[in-house]
Amino acid sequence: MEFSINLAAPEKAQAECLVLTVSGKKLPSGLAKLDAASNGWLSALLASGELGEKAGSVLTSHLPGTQTPNDNKLQKLVLLQTGKEVDAAGARKLADVIAKTLVGGKLASAAVWLGGIKDVATDALTAAISQAIVFESYRFTAFKSEPEPASSLARVDYLIAKKADTEAAEAGLARGLAVGHGMNFTRELANLPPNACTPTYLAEEAVKLARHYGMKSTVLDTPELEALGMGSFLSVAKGSVQPPKLITLEYRGGSKTGKPVALVGKGITFDSGGISLKPGEGMDEMKYDMGGAAAVLGTFRAVAELGLPINLVGVIATCENMPAGNASKPGDIVKSMAGTTIEILNTDAEGRLILCDALTYTARFEPEVVIDLATLTGACIIALGHVASGLYANDDGLADALLAAAGNTGDKAWRLPLWDDYQEQLKSNFADVANIGGRPAGSVTAACFLARFTKNYTWAHLDIAGTAWKSGAAKGATGRPVPLLVEYLVQRSVKKAKK
């Protein structure tokens, strides 16, 4: 799909469909010439009352052939009600409506007039619409004998009135496309069946991504993991015939001496629960237990596409969690890379067992900040549902920056406590720590377990168990929290540039 920024009035649109935003029943002044060119048909349409007054209401109408302005391609008008005031959240909702309308239509080209929304910055508005269109265009077709037809939409033009807005619109377009592409890459990986998206496949995709964008990649196999002393990680993997992988990516867009931000992803490509076997109902969705790893790769793609001037490291621990004669058992004690002994009370609490070794390994990159992403606990879904990701941090500044990014993008997160009081629940009579702390505050104690391995750096944990995918009729990966992470990294790079 092609996108462009055009310095043109709406009556000059060279597209089959024109999207116009209006507030109430009053025709915006910027549409006066278009109305005149259509012999007053546009104002009459607006005055008819067919367009609802609620923000997001849509009225689609074909232009009468005799009233098509100028000799251009215009066949259809889409009127979109903005309501009285539009903030950033409202603009994202309107962008979703535009995307669904255009992608679901049967026309090949569309023009979107940006002049009707003046309360939102041009770059933010263009980014929101572009991201929404790319997101809405995604189809999972890899295993469909008769895949759903792709959208016929091939070109989208943004119409701006001021030359001074061109740079902002182009920046917003680039941002929106990069985030959309990163989200769709994340969704594609996560939606793949677990017999296709194995740890080996995930490693191969990471290497391909690195090669395409000129990044460094490394993949460690079982012998190297054993040499590193990653007994905790390997204890999860040993029940599966699929070999585990530790994947690292290095994007160097910042200064040669600048310390990187590190993203650490949980990559359980299928989670049966191990010996602590999960119920059969809904177990197919445990292919999504690599959502954190997929989001790390999606974020890397977006950052590389944007060419952000930062240094970024990705560390992904990936394996399957399967029951077998040699699988870990409740009561087993394993030793982590950090030397901490862990009593496994529940083999279905495996994410923290692979992440603790990945977090220890990450320290060798001397990161300025570490953020891990994991579909870690069902308890987080009980606490926050499917709206917000759970956020934990050992640094208030990092937490505030991530929450600000969440607010700017609508990729919501909510901070939960990491108080030492909860560490009491992780005590073991036989090892340094137990891998679960019981039912109370399950998401909190999981984060507290990880916190034991992150004391030497600034760290945050995002529990995305409730936000990485949807169930039911709309089952599928969401691509979250790629928008949040990209926004955080963009804002971080802006602050660095100002210093």
Please check whether residue 380 is in contact with residue 441, taking contact to mean a CB–CB distance below 8 angstroms.
no
Active-site residue flag, 439: no
Q: Which helix (H) or strand (E) holds 14?
A: none
The vertex-23 CA angle with 20 and 27, nearest 5°, equals 65
Looking at 109-252, which runs of residues are DSSP E strands? 109-113, 155-160, 216-220, 245-252
The one catalytic residue in 187, 352, 452, 480 is 352
Sign of the dihedral through C-alpha 29, 33, 36, 38: negative
Active-site position among 100, 118, 259, 278: 278
Burial 38-66 (b: 16+ CB within 10 A, else e): beebbbebbeeeebeeebebbbeeebeee
Strands 2-7 and 155-160, sheet pairing: parallel
Three-class secondary structure of residue 392 per DSSP? strand
Q: Which of 315, 271, 273, 276 is nearest to 289 (CA)?
A: 271
| 278 is a catalytic site residue | yes
Q: What angle do CA 109, 114, 118 make, to 5 degrees?
A: 165
Q: Which residues does the annotation mark as catalytic?
A: 278, 352
